[in-house]
Amino acid sequence: MSGMPDVQMMQQYFGKSGALAEAKNTHARMIEKERTGRLMREAQVASNTTYQWRTLATFEAGEADSGKLTDWISFGHIKFTKEPFLATGSKAAVKGLAGDGENADDLEIWPAMAMVVAWKIDGQGRYVGARLKLFAFGILPADYQVVIYCVFTGPAIRAGD
């Protein structure tokens, strides 16, 4: 014997049922186990999770009472376990407004807000999205624009990828 492995020995060590194949299977199992553990660590319930959303809303003249309905807003990886609290505010988007707001005209700047009209709930009863109605207050000029900010807050699970 020359000390060199023959074809049968090579297949036994490195083939489909050899040591290399078993090492590949073990490696794949370890990667999946680590991924599962990472997802579980990242999916912890947090008591004060927030999701922020903003939009530039344009209203037509006199449209304050009717409002605008948004598309569905998805919370992404955040799944609220209870109905989240919505806080909303607005910022004037008037052209020519000074940085310090000193030249703000009360007849040109009207506040705006958002209101939840529907929640999107997944199969496990978690809140994963919302649909909002946007309002502006006052008799609006034509093509009135305002930035509306929304913050959803509540207990949630932040799921990983």
pLDDT in tens, the chain (161 residues): 577 877 777 776 666 666 666 666 777 888 887 777 666 665 667 788 899 999 998 887 765 566 788 999 999 889 999 999 999 998 877 665 656 656 566 556 778 899 999 999 998 899 999 999 998 887 777 788 889 999 999 999 877 54
Structural domains counted in the chain: 2
117 lies in the same domain as 148: yes
23 lies in the same domain as 62: no
Written as six digits, the tokens of 138 are 């006052």
C-alpha radius of gyration, the chain, whole number = 28
91 lies in the same domain as 129: yes
104 lies in the same domain as 29: no
Residue with tokens 């609006």: 140
Residue with tokens 């090579």: 10
Residue 130's nearest CA partner among 140, 141, 118 is: 118
25 lies in the same domain as 48: no
CB-based contacts of 129: which residues, under 8 Å, 6+ apart? 72, 73, 74, 75, 119, 120
- The answer to whether residue 1 sits within a structural domain is no
Q: What is the secondary structure of 63-82 as a DSSP string? A: -TTT-EE--PEE-TTEEESS
For the whole model, what pTM was predicted?
Answer: 0.66
120 lies in the same domain as 95: yes
